[in-house]
Each structure stands twice: as structure tokens, then as C-alpha cells.
A and B are shown apart, each in its own frame.
Chain A
Amino acid sequence: MTTGSEAPTPVLDVIAPTAGQVIDLADVPDPVFSAALVGPGAAIDPERSANTQALAPVTGTLVKLHPHAFIIRTSDGAGILTHLGIDTVQLNGDGFQLHAAEGDEVAAGAVIVSWDPATVETGGRSPIVPVIALDASTEALTVRHEPGPIKAGDVLFQWSR
């Protein structure tokens, strides 16, 4: 990623990993995410489709890949967590298909996981997808999208680096 010809980007665009409705992080039904304990961000209530795709919200290294959550770290060290539903660690990977491997270099928009949010919901869990700027200060983040419908790949928030 270091071509040497480009100045470092001062603002990191973080794109929506999936289509759905943007909601405030404060409205996520989980105290860790809603209080921004691991960082600020935004959340998406995903479309209910049997083969919903979760895309890489930024370009970087896939430093953590769980079936229900993944973290991408950019070349300048920004970590973005995408979490597919609430309490979904309890599903032990059931219903999640991985399309990448931990350690992969991925481009923003690459398919990382596919899953069915409706199955998560019928299992009694919230299918909401928090997208978190890990360890970022609240002031460094600008949410670019009002609550409401968003397409996968649209800019969700920007992180001033």
C-alpha cells in the first residue's frame, strides 16, 4: 500500500459494510457499543436477506476474523471493527460464511463474510451491525450519513487521522 507517491490521507473514509438502515451507535442494544466503550462509530440495521454480504469498510489487513466479527487495520494503524449482530459470538459461527482469511490484505468493498441477519433475529438476537473506530476519540469521527437507508459501499463515517 505504500507507493511513496501519495501523501498520507488525513481523513479515512469508512464505508458501509452492508446495506440497511443507519442508526446511532447510542441506539444499539448493547451497553459496550452504545456507550462507545471500544470506540465511536455508527451502526446499520441490515437488510434481511439470506445471503447478505459484509464488506471490508476500509482497505487494510484483516487482523482479526471471527465468523461474527472482524477487524481491519489500515496501513497507518487505524482499526475498524465490524460486528455482525449482537451477542452473535454465542452462535459459534453457525450461519456465517467466511470469504477471506485472517492476515489477508483486503481492499475496501471486498466481501469478508456472508450471513443471514434474519436467522440471527429469529434466534432472539439483534442483527444490528456496529461499525467501530477502535480507540478513536469521538471528536475525530464525523458520521457522514443521517439515520436512514444506506447502500453498501456508501461512506458511513470519516475518521480524521
Chain B
Amino acid sequence: MDKAEQILAALGGTDNIVEIEPCATRLRTEVHNSSLVDEKALKAAGAFGVITSGSVVQVVVGPEADTIATDIEDLM
């Protein structure tokens, strides 16, 4: 799997995503069920960090965030 596929899977898959939005260095994702988010797998996919606050999961991926977000949207 490429990075986008790994991140999407670790976020619980397409069905779990409400919205995904790139910031300068992170993906801001709103999910239906944050317990389906696999933080370890996100880090294994290259995330520097994961910050979860309620249904909002911020995946810190660095400056390529917008490219990864586009790739993820293409998969959805």
C-alpha cells in the first residue's frame, strides 16, 4: 500500500471519514468513530504524530499534507 492508502486504512477506511482537509503540515480529519483510528498504523505510515480530540483526528505528516490529502480523496 502507498502512504495514502495506509493512512486511509489506519483512519478506519473510507466509511469512517466525514471530512479530510489538509493544513500546511497535517491532515485534519473528522471521523464517525475515533475508536477505529489506529494511531500505531498511522505512525507506521509515516505520521510524525497523531492528535485526537473527540471526532477530530489530526495526522501530522509534514509539508506533503496537501498531496497526501488529494491522494486520499482520490481513493475515496
**Which A residues are closer than 8 A to B by beta carbons?**
31-32, 35, 37-38, 63-64, 66, 68-71, 79, 81, 83, 89, 132, 134-135
Q: Does B49 contact A (CB under 8 A)?
A: yes
Could you say which interface size class chain B belongs to?
A: 10 to 19
Decide: A37 and B49 in contact? CB cutoff 8 A: yes
Chain B residues at the A interface, C-beta cutoff of 8 Å: 21, 23-26, 28, 48-49, 51, 58, 60, 62-63, 66
Contact sample, A vs B, 7 pairs, CB 8 Å cutoff: A37-B48, A37-B49, A64-B63, A81-B25, A81-B63, A134-B62, A134-B63
Q: B59: shortest Cβ distance to chain A, in Å? A: 10
Known: A32-B49, A32-B51, A89-B28. A38 touches B62 (CB 8 A): yes
Evaluate contact between A69 and B24: CB separation under 8 angstroms. Answer: yes
A38 and B21 form a contact (CB under 8 A):
no
